[in-house]
Amino acid sequence: MEPQDGGPEAERTVDEFPDWFIESFADYWQSMGSSRIEGRIAGYLMASEATEGVSAEELAKAVGASRGSVSTYTRSLIAAGFVRLVRRPDDRAHYYVMDEDVWAGFLDKEQQYLRGQRALAARALARTTPGGPAHERIRNMRDYLGWLLEVQQLPDAWRRYKAERDAGER
C-alpha cells in the first residue's frame, strides 16, 4: 500500500491543492493513453467543492479548453461512468458532477464489461478446437474474467472496505 502522505507533495499547501492535483491527475490519465484535457476535466471535477455541478463554461475556462472539447470529453467521461450531467431548476445550462464514490460506479461498469467479455469467451470456446492454440487462449480469457468476477468480487470488497474504514473514523 502506498503511503498516504509524505514526500514533496505533502509539503503542498491547501491553496496549491487544486492546480497541483488537476495536473498530476491529468499526467496519470494521459499516461494510460487518454486525452490530457479529459484527464484535466476529471481531475477538476474530482477536486471541485461545487455541490450542484460545474458548468461547461467554467470547465472550459478552468482546464484551458474550448467548449467543444469540453462537450466531447464530458460525453466520454459520462459514458465511462466518471461524470454525471445534472440540471438546475429554471436553468438551461449543462452542469457536470463527479459522484462522491465515482470508483464504485466505475467498478460497476467494469463488471458489466467483464461479464460481457466472459460470455463472449464462453460462446467462442464452444467454436474452437479443444487443445488448439485458440482454444487455450480463449479458455484463459474466460477463466481470467471469471476469476476477476467471482473470486475477486471487487465491488463487494470495496463496499466492505469502505464500511470498515468509515466505522474506524467514528
pLDDT tens string 1-38: 343 444 555 555 666 888 999 999 999 999 999 999 99
CB 96 within 8 Å of CB 42: no
Tens-digit pLDDT profile for residues 143-154 = 999 999 988 888
| Residue reference for cell 463472449 | 120
* Euclidean distance between CA atoms 118 and 120, whole angstroms: 5
Quote the pLDDT of residue 10.
52
pTM of the model: 0.76
Interval 89-117 mean pLDDT? 90
* Euclidean distance between CA atoms 82 and 104, whole angstroms: 10
Torsion angle, alpha carbons of 142, 103, 158, 2, to 10: 100
